[in-house]
Amino acid sequence: MSAAEERQAREERWRTSMAAAQDGDAKAYESLLQELLPEIRSLVRRRLPDEAAVEDIVQNTLLAIHRSRHTYRSERPFGPWMRAVARNAFLDHVRVRSRRVEREVPLDAVPEPADDPAPMLERVGLSPELERALAELPAIQLRGLSVAEAAVKAGVSMSAVKVRAHRGYRALRARLEGVEGFRDG
């Protein structure tokens, strides 16, 4: 059997298995998913070297196939449908990962909190206006405490600490809005 004939036979097997699965044949569905597993894994590995991420995407693809199996039309080829689902799972992973990378800072880039924030502020190179605005804040607000630690230290709930922090951000923003070079990002 030629490679083209093998692909055609596989496509027909996938198509009929999915149609049977849509009709409630659990055995055909399990068989289909078992056969798709190495195919999906191979598709994802071609695009991504990280084995853990590959497995996450493969699992998400299988879940997406399960959730959207009712959308497959048995008169159409199964392979392109399955590859579209896998591509979408891959793109979702890339989007989530890129958002996470934008928000996260490596731990080695985060300075240790200090009781006196002045040396850290000098290293950052803040504008004189921002330095003045920060100097007006109560010292406890510049200690680098976690929300839980700040709540214990201030003797209030964590929600109250968050509200106070938000109010502080707003007050600082209001002070800085008129400062040249300050840009709301």
Q: What is the CATH number of the domain that holds 62?
A: 1.10.1740.10
Res 185 pLDDT > 50:
no
59 with 93, same domain?
A: yes
68 with 121, same domain?
A: no
Query: What three-state secondary structure class fits 75?
Result: coil
Res 162 pLDDT > 90:
no
Interhelix angle for 51-68 vs 26-45, to 10°?
A: 140
In this structure, the number of other CB atoms found within 10 A of the CB of residue 172 comes to: 16
Domain that holds residue 117: 110-176
* 142 contact partners, CB below 8 Å, separation of at least 6: 117, 134
58 with 144, same domain?
A: no
Query: What three-state secondary structure class fits 42?
Result: helix
Total structural domains in the chain?
A: 2
98 with 15, same domain?
A: yes
Stretch among 60-69, 101-110, 166-175 having the lowest mean pLDDT: 101-110
* pLDDT band at residue 2 using 50, 70 and 90 as cut-offs: very high
Ranges of H-type helices in 104-185: 118-124, 128-135, 147-154, 158-176
Task: Compute the mean pLDDT over every residue in the chain, rounded to the nearest whole number.
Answer: 81
**pLDDT tens-digit map of 79-92:** 999 999 999 999 99
In Å, the largest CA–CA distance within the chain is: 80
Q: What is the mean pLDDT of residues 25-33?
A: 96
99 with 115, same domain?
A: no
114 with 78, same domain?
A: no
* pLDDT band at residue 105 using 50, 70 and 90 as cut-offs: low
